[in-house]
Amino acid sequence: MYVGKTLFAQVMEFVPWTSFARIVQRHGGNSRVRTLSCAEQFRAMAFAQLTWRESLRDIEASLSAHTSKLYAMGFRSAVKRSTLADANERRDWRIWSDLAAVLIRRARKLYAGDAVLGVDLDNTVYALDSSTIDLCLSLFDWAPFRSTKAAVKLHTLLDLRGAIPAFIHISDGKLHDVNVLDMLVFEAGAFYVMDRGYVDFERLHAVHRAGAFFVTRAKSPMDAQRVYSAPTDRSTGVISDQQVRLNGYYSARKYPEHLRRIRFKDPTSGKTLIFLTNNTALPALTIAALYKSRWQVELFFKWIKQHLRIKHFLGNSENAVKTQVWCAVATYVLIAIVRKELQLDASLYTCLQILSVSVFEKTELSCALQPDASRIEPLDAANQLNLFSF
């Protein structure tokens, strides 16, 4: 792989270019294109993500400073900001969402053997949540949110084994989170962990009918009648473990089955939480641990907002924004694949930090992302000049 290639070129070798070519052909991405093919556009956008470029001018200037290395990086010619801007505006954003989907499938296979933090389960565990990115209403009028500002929402279903997004939907700020449940194809036997914003009994019953399990928090007040109470050990924090049925006329029709209601007092915060689930087999503490693992999706949103360029957009149109977000997701998953394929101990954060300052370096990728500390010889203090010697 190495053979004198830059780190960026080595990372790009992990992209499934054959599958990408079929995606481009399906969407006509290279139709009537003279310069900057779809492959070059992705390389430019991935370069911007890896090196934290925040404007088209910044991308152009950074690449132009290394003209002699562009061909080896996969560029046939210099990248002009106007050409890249036009490509982001006009080329179908679904090209990049389909590429991200291919990478996600590959990454999920690589991380399938990883355990979910704090939970001993063989089942797949997903966390569902959304994150809002605020925008200026005068520039992004296609994404209304409030009366005075715009926003886009990233609705994400995160596979907690490896923190790989299994599903992402980008919408304007007005789409309510619960509507995303209608877009999902539920996996039998899997657990879907959600906050109480997703409590809709008709949709939760659809999860139940699909043979999947949900774990969420109950809204207050909740009109339900206790049917059965299981014995609990209050010293563990589990106050009650009950089977309940809904009393409301409409809610009972939407969810006619019994629900499991667990009242749990968090020993750390002292707060009492009420969980709802359709799983009756797992211990109550495991259900509490599953809900606690939901915070990984919050950390995922925080992480990508801090380390990927999805706050400053290179274009104002819906297509340009979705193109940038999907390219960011594809880059994130690509580095996760690189980390797993090369069996690196370094965290994803460390890998991105190293690449951000060394994409043009010509060294072996595995060595660059996982330097051997034992090879770093300590300096001989006796041979060092003393600044204050007289």
| Three-class SS of the chain | CCCCCCHHHHHHCCCCHHHHHHHHHHHCCCCCCCCCCHHHHHHHHHHHHHHCCCCHHHHHHHHHCCHHHHHHHCCCCCCCHHHHHHHHHHCCCHHHHHHHHHHHHHHHHHCCCCCCCCCCCCCCEEEEEEEEEEECCCCCCCCECCCCCEEEEEEEEEECCCCEEEEEEEEECCCCHHHHHHHCCCCCCCEEEECHHHCCHHHHHHHHHCCCEEEEECCCCCCEEEEEEECCCHHHCEEEEEEEEECCHHHHHHCCCCEEEEEEECCCCCCEEEEEECCCCCCHHHHHHHHHCCHHHHHHHHHHHHHCCCCCCCCCCHHHHHHHHHHHHHHHHHHHHHHHHCCCCCCHHHHHHHHHHHCCCCCCHHHHHCCCHHHCCCCCHHHCCCCCCC
Q: How would residue 95 be classed by pLDDT, with cut points 50, 70 and 90?
A: very high
Q: How would residue 3 be classed by pLDDT, with cut points 50, 70 and 90?
A: low
Q: What is the dihedral of CA 107, 113, 118, 120, to 10 degrees?
A: 140
Does residue 307 carry a pLDDT above 80? Answer: no
Does 22 or 268 have the greater pLDDT score? 22
- Digit-coded pLDDT (tens) for 344-373: 888 888 888 888 888 888 888 888 887 654
Asked if the bond preceding 221 is cis, omega within 30° of 0, the reply is yes
Does residue 236 carry a pLDDT above 80? Answer: yes
- Digit-coded pLDDT (tens) for 217-232: 998 888 899 999 999 8
243 neighbors 222 (Cβ within 8 angstroms): no
pLDDT of res. 102: 96
Task: Tell me what the mean pLDDT of segment 228-249 comes to.
Answer: 91
Average pLDDT, the chain: 87
Task: Tell me what the mean pLDDT of segment 259-275 comes to.
Answer: 90
Query: In percent, how much of the chain has pLDDT > 70?
Result: 93
Identity of the highest mean pLDDT range in 57-71, 205-219, 298-312: 205-219
Q: At what angle do helices 348-358 and 318-341 cross, to 10 degrees?
A: 110
233: CB partners within 8 A, 6+ apart: none
Q: Could you tell me the pTM of the whole model?
A: 0.84
Does residue 8 carry a pLDDT above 80? Answer: yes
Task: Tell me what the mean pLDDT of segment 280-287 comes to.
Answer: 92
Give the span between the Cα atoms of 161 and 184, in whole angstroms: 19
pLDDT of res. 347: 82
Give the span between the Cα atoms of 207 and 257, in whole angstroms: 12
Task: Tell me what the mean pLDDT of segment 255-273 comes to.
Answer: 90
Query: In percent, how much of the chain has pLDDT > 90?
Result: 50
The label of the residue with tokens 């200026």 reads: 136
Q: Quick count: other Cβ atoms within 10 Å of Cβ 251?
A: 17
Structure-block tokens of residue 24: 């481009």
Task: Tell me what the mean pLDDT of segment 16-23 comes to.
Answer: 95
pLDDT of res. 346: 84
Does residue 2 carry a pLDDT above 90? Answer: no
Task: Tell me what the mean pLDDT of segment 177-195 comes to.
Answer: 94
pLDDT of res. 379: 44
Give the span between the Cα atoms of 7 and 334, in whole angstroms: 14
Does residue 162 carry a pLDDT above 90? Answer: no
Phi-psi region of 101 (alpha: psi -120 to 50; beta: other; left: phi over 0): alpha
Does residue 383 carry a pLDDT above 50? Answer: no
pLDDT of res. 96: 95
pLDDT of res. 66: 87
Structure-block tokens of residue 50: 């890896």
Task: Tell me what the mean pLDDT of segment 328-336 comes to.
Answer: 92
Task: Tell me what the mean pLDDT of segment 374-382 comes to.
Answer: 45
- Digit-coded pLDDT (tens) for 102-140: 999 999 999 888 877 667 788 889 999 998 888 888 888
Task: Tell me what the mean pLDDT of segment 284-309 comes to.
Answer: 84
Q: Which strands sit side by side in the sheet containing 125-135, from one edge to the other?
A: 164-172, 150-159, 125-135, 191-194, 213-217, 272-277, 259-265, 238-246, 224-230
- The angle at the Cα of 229, spanning 227 to 232, to the nearest 5 degrees, equals 165
